[in-house]
A and B are shown apart, each in its own frame.
Chain A
Amino acid sequence: MVIVGFLITLPLLAALLLLVVRNDRVRAPLVIGAGSLTMLGSLALAVLYLFSPGIYVKIPAPYSEIISYATVAVSCICCLYVLVKGARNSKPLAVFLAALQLVFVLILEFGAAHDVEVKNDLYIDQLSVIMALVIGIIGSGICIYAVGYMRDFQHHLEQHAATHHHARLDSGYQALEHHAKDRRHIFFALMFVFLSAMYMIVFSNNLTWLLCGWEVTTVCSFALIGYTRTREAIDNSFRQIVMNLIGGLGFVMALMLLSSHDIKILELDRLIAFGSLNGGIGLVGLPVLLLSLAGFTKAAQMPFQSWLLGAMVAPTPTSALLHSSTKVKAGVFILIKLAPVFAFNLNGLVVILVGGLTFFFCSALAISQSNAKRVLAYSTVANLGLIVACAGVGTPEAVWAAIFLLIFHAAAKSLLFCCVGTAEHHIASRDIEDMDAIFTRLPRLALLMALGMFCMFIAPFGMLISKWATIVTMVDTGNIPLLFLLAFGSALTFVFWAKWLGKVLAVAQGGSNTEHHIHKSEWFALGLMSLLAVGLAIGLPWVSEGVVVPYLSAVASGFSGDVSSWAEITISTYSLPGAIVGENSNLRAAIGFNDLLIMATIALALIIVFAIKFLRRPKEPTSSIYLGGVGIDSSKRSFINALSTTSVSTQRNWYMESLFGEKVMTSFANVLVIAVMVLGAIAIYVGFGGVL
């Protein structure tokens, strides 16, 4: 258990140190050291607890009191920080929400929650160990990546400021030196605070402690998104804070309801046990709906997706961190935890529909984007939607799919973000069209980028296997609307990945390699994430058998003493051949072990074949491409046309904006999802009075 304390406090201490150290030479070893220690700590945790059943721990009386007061203080400081920032930037809505949040937190802590006895404050189970590994390895990896990246970032910023100095001063704008000021110490400190808060979220059984971690991630991303202090960055950071405060309010209100006289539960495990025992309805109906609202906002589900899209203005490591291992993953984590409460009830249906619709619409929207980071953002939202939908289905098989989606998405998406970030510093653009011939200019980076994309959407790699499991579960549980959303959404997913992948792997005849400028720390992180993505794809059958399935059987057979009805619900409602049975030994994944093994073998074979092919020097082209005339230069696609003059052939990918554009789709989809939420809330509220 000491190790949990270590994981929460180490990044905090590192953050404090980094705040003080402003010399980049000293900072680099510090970040690498702290990152490695966090990584090692997570690995040690895995060695100790990955294969053992969950344990629950009560912190002894005086200490737990102290920690509780500290968490309240931190929550309040978060609210106050937003209050002050909001007032300074004249953002009334943010100020209002932060004030409301502050009041609610105080009422909760010193009112109802004060009398509720909390048996176990912390816990470690296999899911939290998996989360800790994601945070520890990928999160720390991104921090290390940032060392090299931020050096280039600062360099570009200063250059930019120098060239535009006079123009900007004349227009009476905020002086650009202000933007270019070296604030990297704050950046790195925030990154590590983020990690600490995430550990807090995945280990807290005490819901008020969890709330504290929740608030800290919100405020950290607020500060990180606004890092560059441009108008756009500040606006986007406030959009983030407003949306997440709505979710945060939902969280606090849920806790207020839970701590009231009727329920008196402020522990995650007891909430899940109590909730699933009551079929997710009745007294827990409304609090669980409010908690899912908090999950939706954090996981950027429609209609809240715009904050994540706006978060791209931040330096790329921020995006990588937000998308892969922190923040949005906290949102889906809480929903996955609550899955047993969602099984076969109205609450679950709302969650399924929100996730499913988000998956479909965001996959479509991604087609219309040529900005690589926006494509990645929409893809993140879409995949989170899939995870959310799986959580909403709530059967053990669905949770299996959700957990693997989470793991693979974390690995592949962090790899992709880091690749795009590095590419941006070398081609001076994040537009997919400008990545033309990147395979010739930055060959190894292009290959890693391609690997990341393979991992995101195609068999035999992880995301597709998880999607496969999702399809199986949806058929098993008869979720026909979701099956349609899934079938059509998957086709759209194929479109935007395939055309980008094609662009990245296009070979220009001629052109030079400029790859030697990439920092070592960047290569290290990219290598780490690639290894993780590939290793997991190959090791999937064993991860499933050794970790995820035992976790699910443990959850199905009871929560720390309380007998769960999760297994009963799933069995009684659906007794299909693939359905999971309560007895530990009979619990299986949605996909047969042999089929998983086949996919793992194909993945291994593909990696070996690619490695052999791309490590060798390619054969030289023996023919030039066809251009509709007499070719002059294949790499420039110039040719002599029928009028004996020179033409250049250009070609862009299709973005089909008239069909999939944001103007066409976003408002419609938002309204649709809001309608689902509102109707669901009304129905559950009515059910709250005993009608359901």
Chain B
Amino acid sequence: MTIISFAVALVGFVIFAPVLGCLLAGVDRIVSARLQGRVGPVLLQPYYDVRKLLAKENRSVNGYQEFYIVLSLAFAILSGVFFFAGGNFLLVLFVLTLSSLFFIIAAYSARSPYADAGAQREIIQIASYEPMTILLCVTFFMATNTFNVSEVFNRDLPLVATLPLVFAAFLFILTIKLRKSPFDLSYSHHAHQELVKGITTEMSGRTLALVEITHWYESILFMGWVALFFIWNTMLAIPVVIIAVLLIYFLEVFIDNTFARVKWQAMLFWSWTVTIICCLLNIIYLIVLGYLG
């Protein structure tokens, strides 16, 4: 990561990520509606929702919650900038964890029973996916000999060829990260799943708008992680990446609409099991590859 790549990523990510993220959310809602046999809202509905939230009178349960949410958004953006600047994968991961932590603190700060319950569930969600994200970085290093994500542009084959099982396990926990059912324990866009409003129970108006915007940024960041597996050193990679990302996102929406929420025990058990098995097998595969070539 150089100063120039950082500057380019900063401008690019800050401006384009929310636009793309918002469109993605719009597509999500239309596809979900069609899967449920409804027409669904217009493509820009998420944007209208956020604009309306921003225009609302600002009411809050304490003077700190919005502060934490702003920090959560700021670190989500910073993490994305580091990622798209081709920086150190672990750095990206740790800054993103900081963002998640501030989101949790924001919920806890309200000292409300429902927000607390949401926050606890969010913590369990992080415990479920965090090992996989660390092992993702680790296996990335094992495959490429560096933690710098820009390395994928120098490869002769896309990463998915060397890390197929890691990719599969990553998809598993991506469902948690994108807040999709069956792992949308702490907060869901589907009203029927919800315990009041989960972790965002006490958030409203501008604060809630910021949460939504954070989600847009995060979605694009995670799609970037997906793209990481499909990039290699030819121009052919561009259409492949676009198709792969769209397919994966559709898959997530499909899963979201076909599964009912599970209990936290099941989420923790399955994500850890999948992580251990897939990563272990893939590491063995990497070692074998190393011996062969």
Contact = CB atoms under 8 A, between A and B. Distances in A.
Contact of B109 (A472, A505, A602, A624): A505
Interface stretch (A83-91, A109-117, A649-657, A675-683): A649-657
**For this complex, into which size category does the number of interface residues on chain B fall?**
35 or more
Interface stretch (A69-77, A369-377, A401-409, A478-486): A478-486
Interface centre among B108, B119, B132, by most chain A C-beta atoms within 10 angstroms, is B108
B150 interface: no
Interface string B274-293: 00100110010000000000
Contacts of B109: 502, 505-507
A627 B146 CA distance: 50
A624 B112 CA distance: 9
Contacts of B132: 487
Interface stretch (A8-16, A239-247, A297-305, A493-501): A493-501
B113 A637 contact: yes
A475 B113 contact: no
A170 interface: no
Interface in A631-685: 634, 637, 649-651, 653-654, 659
Interface in A486-544: 486-488, 490-492, 494-495, 498-499, 501-503, 505-509
Interface string B85-122: 00110110011011001001101111111111101100
B62 A498 contact: no
Nearest to A488: B131
Contact of B147 (A460, A472, A492): A472
B60 interface: yes
Contacts, number: 164
Contact of A625 (B1, B112, B146, B280): B112
A614 to B, nearest CB: 9
A577 interface: yes
Interface stretch (B63-71, B177-185, B220-228): B63-71
B262 interface: no
B138 interface: yes
Contact of B60 (A460, A490, A623, A653): A623
B80 to A, nearest CB: 15
B142 interface: yes
A598 B123 contact: no
B153 interface: no
Given A491-B130, A491-B131, A627-B113, A576 B145 contact: yes
A622 interface: yes
Nearest to B142: A475
Contacts of B117: 651
13 contacts: A459-B94, A460-B98, A483-B135, A491-B128, A494-B97, A507-B109, A509-B111, A598-B91, A613-B64, A623-B60, A623-B204, A625-B112, A628-B114
Given A637-B112, A649-B113, 8 more contacts: A471-B90, A472-B147, A499-B119, A502-B104, A507-B61, A594-B1, A602-B95, A622-B60
Interface of B: 1, 58-64, 67, 71, 78, 82, 87-88, 90-91, 94-95, 97-98, 101, 104-105, 107-117, 119-120, 123-124, 126-128, 130-132, 134-135, 137-138, 141-142, 145-147, 196, 201-202, 204, 265, 272, 276, 279-280, 283
